């Protein structure tokens, strides 16, 4: 992330983003990642299509975006790292520092997510040489399925890419103040979007485009179970990077004169657009190649290579695509490591470098559980009938993020005063401000509670 060293005029001496643009890029870089291109399509597939998509969109609009605004606001107001920020604001405004526990839960969630995130990002990295090797030239669905199976069956290769990716994440976070990431997000993210549009074009011409669109958007709530609703809500949190303190940490580096609502809307729009375009590119190809939409975490890796294998210059295009996907994953993974480092750094005297490395190693070790989940441990069941990877994913996305996000919404909406909020946020109109406040006070917590209760009762 791009954080300039100027601390002038800011309480707490936090480093600050060099411009509104730099901040938006860092926040979009955090939000847009594997969650949009890998996770969203496979969750739509296992969640039965449009029911998942429509609940997801509703959650982004009514719960996710308002919480994103709240989280950024809390960080900027407190000028502290996540756990300490909530403890401090709780102490000053609510009479108890116990609110800091949300930040502690966030640190645990971030570590767990980072552990599998790095493994899956490793798959994306592995697909760069896979594309260039020519193995998938003129690929059929059988060939891409076999290639993905081969990758998953090779723990040493998975470990290698997992290690490379985690090392890069640690390297960037340890550096803290760097210009490299800003360039990466400014140029490479738009390029990734362009590649998605190329894939979308391919899907329109060669895929079952109408069928893909109908699958995603034609309202059909027969597939809507409490399980699907909770997964869709969790995906909204995951994709927007909210609920654990990432956006709180980024908000604490945000200069005062920037409008938080405008920024948040930009981030949410960009994030949702990328997910929807990815889905619209993938499902037509899934149907045209006879693949199973409910295939699971491998969906993107068996679908897109069919397109790359059969388009002009496809193998080069595919290699570039997976490089860009890896970069997008990197700008997200650093935003998982950053809040952990910032939180612990504020409470100890350990240096950023040592902390980054130590936490990186912890997440790297935890990642073994994910690697084995796609191999020898696939039959090990932890939460219900979920293997270790599915369990970590469920615990974080479906439980910890919604819980953390709803609690931050409650804190912002009920503990901070109306005037405090109005001054901190910079809304253009009172009406929009009132709408936002209503959403964080009532809709977000009640929405999360309803989904949770339904799930518990089911």
Q: Which stretch binds ligand TRP (CB under 6 A): 31-39, 175-183, 363-371, 435-443?
A: 31-39
Considering the complex, state which of residue 254 and residue 315 has its C-beta at the smaller distance from ligand TRP: 254
Considering the complex, state which of residue 83 and residue 244 has its C-beta at the smaller distance from ligand TRP: 244
Q: Is residue 35 a contact residue for ligand TRP (CB under 6 A)?
A: yes
The answer to whether 25 touches 185, Cβ cutoff 8 Å, is yes
Q: How far is the CB of 136 from ligand TRP (least distance, A)?
A: 25
Q: Which stretch binds ligand TRP (CB under 6 A): 12-20, 184-192, 239-247, 281-289?
A: 239-247
Q: Is residue 43 a contact residue for ligand TRP (CB under 6 A)?
A: no
Number of residues that bind ligand TRP (CB under 6 A): 17
- Interface pick for ligand TRP out of 33, 45, 75, 318 (rule CB under 6 A): 33
Considering the complex, state which of residue 139 and residue 400 has its C-beta at the smaller distance from ligand TRP: 400
Number of H helices, E strands in the chain: 23, 0
Among positions 343-372, residues that touch ligand TRP (CB under 6 A) are none
The C-alpha atoms of residue 374 and residue 153 are separated, in whole angstroms, by 8
- Interface pick for ligand TRP out of 241, 303, 373, 387 (rule CB under 6 A): 241
- Interface pick for ligand TRP out of 24, 31, 166, 170 (rule CB under 6 A): 31
Six-digit token pair at 256? 């005062």
DSSP helix/strand/coil, 16: strand
Give me the phi and psi of 297, to 5 degrees please. Answer: -60, -15
- Interface pick for ligand TRP out of 2, 169, 246, 289 (rule CB under 6 A): 246
The answer to whether 233 touches 397, Cβ cutoff 8 Å, is no
The C-alpha atoms of residue 80 and residue 157 are separated, in whole angstroms, by 39
Q: How far is the CB of 68 from ligand TRP (least distance, A)?
A: 11
| Burial call 22-45: b when 16+ CB within 10 Å, e when fewer | bbbbbbbbbbbbbbbbbbbbbbbb
Q: Is residue 144 a contact residue for ligand TRP (CB under 6 A)?
A: no
Q: How far is the CB of 80 from ligand TRP (least distance, A)?
A: 18
- Interface pick for ligand TRP out of 335, 343, 373, 391 (rule CB under 6 A): 335
Among positions 364-423, residues that touch ligand TRP (CB under 6 A) are 401
Q: Which residue is nearest to ligand TRP (CB)?
A: 35
Start-end of H helices in 184-259: 189-206, 209-217, 226-240, 246-252
Q: Which stretch binds ligand TRP (CB under 6 A): 27-35, 152-160, 347-355, 372-380?
A: 27-35
Q: Determine the straight-line distance between the first and last CA of the chain, rounded to whole angstroms.
A: 42
The C-alpha atoms of residue 330 and residue 399 are separated, in whole angstroms, by 24
Window 84-123: contact mask with ligand TRP (x via CB under 6 A): -----------------------------x----------
- Interface pick for ligand TRP out of 36, 169, 272, 373 (rule CB under 6 A): 36
The C-alpha atoms of residue 125 and residue 325 are separated, in whole angstroms, by 8
Six-digit token pair at 151? 């990758």
DSSP-derived letter for residue 331 is H
Angle at 185 between CA 184 and CA 186, to 5 degrees: 95
Count the neighbouring beta carbons within 10 Å of the beta carbon of residue 330. 25
State the residue for tokens 């109109």. Answer: 429
Considering the complex, state which of residue 234 and residue 447 has its C-beta at the smaller distance from ligand TRP: 234
- Interface pick for ligand TRP out of 276, 307, 336, 416 (rule CB under 6 A): 336
Which residues are bridge partners to 16 per DSSP? 4
The C-alpha atoms of residue 172 and residue 429 are separated, in whole angstroms, by 39
Among positions 249-308, residues that touch ligand TRP (CB under 6 A) are none
Q: If 0-12 CB within 10 Å is exposed, 13-18 middle and 19+ buried, where does residue 428 land?
A: exposed
Q: Is residue 239 a contact residue for ligand TRP (CB under 6 A)?
A: yes
- Interface pick for ligand TRP out of 332, 356, 387, 391 (rule CB under 6 A): 332
Q: Which residues bind ligand TRP (CB under 6 A)?
A: 30-31, 33-36, 113, 238-239, 241, 243-244, 246, 332, 335-336, 401
């Amino acid at each position: 992330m791009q954080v300039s060293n100027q601390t002038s005029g800011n309480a707490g001496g936090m480093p600050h983003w060099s411009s509104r643009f730099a901040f938006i890029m860092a926040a979009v870089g955090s939000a847009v990642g594997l969650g949009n291109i890998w996770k969203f399509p496979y969750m739509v597939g296992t969640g039965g299509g449009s029911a998942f998509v429509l609940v997801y969109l509703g959650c982004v609009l009514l719960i996710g975006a308002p919480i994103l605004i709240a989280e950024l606001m809390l960080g900027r107001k407190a000028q502290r790292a996540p756990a300490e920020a909530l403890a401090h604001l709780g102490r000053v405004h609510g009479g108890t520092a116990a609110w800091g526990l949300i930040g502690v839960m966030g640190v645990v969630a971030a570590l767990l997510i980072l552990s599998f995130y790095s493994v899956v990002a490793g798959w994306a990295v592995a697909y760069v040489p896979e594309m260039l090797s020519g193995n998938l030239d003129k690929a059929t669905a059988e060939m891409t399925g076999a290639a993905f199976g081969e990758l998953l069956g090779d723990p040493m290769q998975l470990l290698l890419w997992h290690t490379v990716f985690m090392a890069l994440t640690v390297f960037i976070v340890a550096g803290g103040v760097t210009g490299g990431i800003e360039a990466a997000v400014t140029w490479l993210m738009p390029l990734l979007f362009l590649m998605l549009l190329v894939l979308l074009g391919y899907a329109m011409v060669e895929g079952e485009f109408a069928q893909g669109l109908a699958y995603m958007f034609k309202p059909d709530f027969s597939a809507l179970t409490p399980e699907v609703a909770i997964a869709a809500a969790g995906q909204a949190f995951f994709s927007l990077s909210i609920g654990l303190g990432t956006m709180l940490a980024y908000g604490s580096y945000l200069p005062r004169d920037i409008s938080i609502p405008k920024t948040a809307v930009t981030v949410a729009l960009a994030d949702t657009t990328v997910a929807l375009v990815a889905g619209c590119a993938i499902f037509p190809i899934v149907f045209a190649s006879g693949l199973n939409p409910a295939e699971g975490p491998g969906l993107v890796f068996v679908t897109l290579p069919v397109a790359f294998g059969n388009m002009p210059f496809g193998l080069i295009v595919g290699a570039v695509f997976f490089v860009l996907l890896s970069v997008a994953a990197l700008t997200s993974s650093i935003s998982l490591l950053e809040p952990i480092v910032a939180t612990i750094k504020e409470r100890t005297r350990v240096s950023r470098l040592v902390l980054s490395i130590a936490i990186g190693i912890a997440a790297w070790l935890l990642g073994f559980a994910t690697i084995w989940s796609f191999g020898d441990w696939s039959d090990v069941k932890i939460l219900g009938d979920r293997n270790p990877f599915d369990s970590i994913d469920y615990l974080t996305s479906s439980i910890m993020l919604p819980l953390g996000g709803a609690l931050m919404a409650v804190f912002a909406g009920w503990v901070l005063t109306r005037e405090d909020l109005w001054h901190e946020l910079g809304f253009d109109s009172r009406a929009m401000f009132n709408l936002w406040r209503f959403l964080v006070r009532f809709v977000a917590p009640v929405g999360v509670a309803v989904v949770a209760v339904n799930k518990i009762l089911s």
